[in-house]
């Protein structure tokens, strides 16, 4: 056998041996079952265990943010309340209770307005009031000459020692065909306010604003209280 033939056979044997090794190392479906099963198990564990844990952690972070926000809100509320003069605040509360009482009788409410109308020589057209939630309200109407009607409108807001609200004010004129005299009429809806008793506790987390920021309203309360 020549040297070239021997070399050729050796190469063939080497090629066959390499081919067998490649076949032996090739992955089959059975070789992939265990890794795939392990991966699937890991995914299931992540969903069942780890994801809820992560969600719980995020939920805890959100709760801490809410708690910190409430703590900050309470600190600000404490500073605001501390800035108030306690003696002055008690005096202002007494004044407010005078002009907005706990109980407001219809007779008391109407008395001041009807007295003013009488002083202005106005004639009663209609006079009625009813009690509703936190207020006594009702339609009123009077008749008289122009100057007295104007004077009534100018003074009606100030005459009552209680806080009142005027709505739907209408002024009309009627001329007598025989005497040619003019009669002016005024109709309006008036509401007077009072505190209602409540057992509800104040919400300490509700937005808070110092009453001293409404100094103009406080002065109106004081002026009405002095007139009583």
Q: Where along the chain do its domains lie? A: 1-83, 90-226
Condensed to tens digits (0 to 9), the pLDDT of residues 55-110 reads 777 777 788 888 888 888 888 888 888 888 888 888 888 888 888 777 777 677 77
> What is the pLDDT, as a whole number, of residue 42?
74
pLDDT recorded at residue 205: 78
- Domain 90-226: give its CATH superfamily: Ribosomal protein S6/Translation elongation factor EF1B (3.30.70.60)
CB atoms within 10 A of CB 73: 15
How far is Cα 144 from Cα 19, in angstroms, rounded to an integer?
123
> In the chain, which residues have pLDDT < 50?
1
Residue 24, pLDDT score: 53
> What distances in angstroms separate CA 77 from CA 71, 82, 91, 212, one per listed residue?
10, 8, 21, 14
Measure the N-to-C terminal CA separation of the chain; round to a whole number of Å.
Answer: 141
Which positions ≥6 away from 92 have C-beta within 8 Å? 211, 218, 221
The per-residue pLDDT for 97 is 83
Residues in the chain: 228
pTM of the predicted protein model: 0.53
Determine phi and psi for 161, rounding to 5 degrees. Answer: -75, -10
């Amino acid at each position: 056998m020549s040297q070239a033939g021997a070399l050729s056979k050796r190469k063939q044997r080497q090629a066959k041996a390499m081919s067998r090794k490649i076949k032996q190392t090739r992955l089959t479906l059975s070789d992939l079952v265990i890794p795939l099963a392990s991966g699937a198990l890991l995914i299931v564990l992540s969903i069942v265990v780890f994801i809820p844990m992560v969600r719980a952690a995020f939920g805890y972070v959100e709760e801490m943010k809410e708690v910190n926000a409430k703590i900050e809100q309470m600190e600000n509320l404490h500073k605001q309340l501390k800035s108030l003069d306690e003696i002055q605040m008690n005096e202002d509360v007494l004044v407010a209770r005078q002009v907005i009482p706990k109980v407001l009788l219809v007779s008391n409410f109407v008395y001041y307005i009807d007295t003013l109308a009488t002083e202005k020589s106005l004639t009663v057209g209609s006079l009625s009031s009813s009690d509703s939630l936190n207020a006594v309200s009702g339609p009123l109407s009077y008749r008289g000459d122009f100057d007295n009607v104007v004077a009534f409108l100018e003074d009606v807001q100030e005459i009552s020692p209680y806080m009142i609200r005027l709505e739907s004010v209408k002024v009309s004129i009627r001329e007598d065909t025989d005497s040619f005299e003019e009669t002016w009429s005024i109709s309006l809806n008036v509401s007077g306010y009072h505190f209602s008793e409540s057992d509800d506790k104040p919400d300490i987390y509700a937005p808070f604003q110092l009453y001293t920021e409404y100094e103009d309203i406080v002065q109106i309360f004081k002026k009405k209280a002095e007139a009583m």
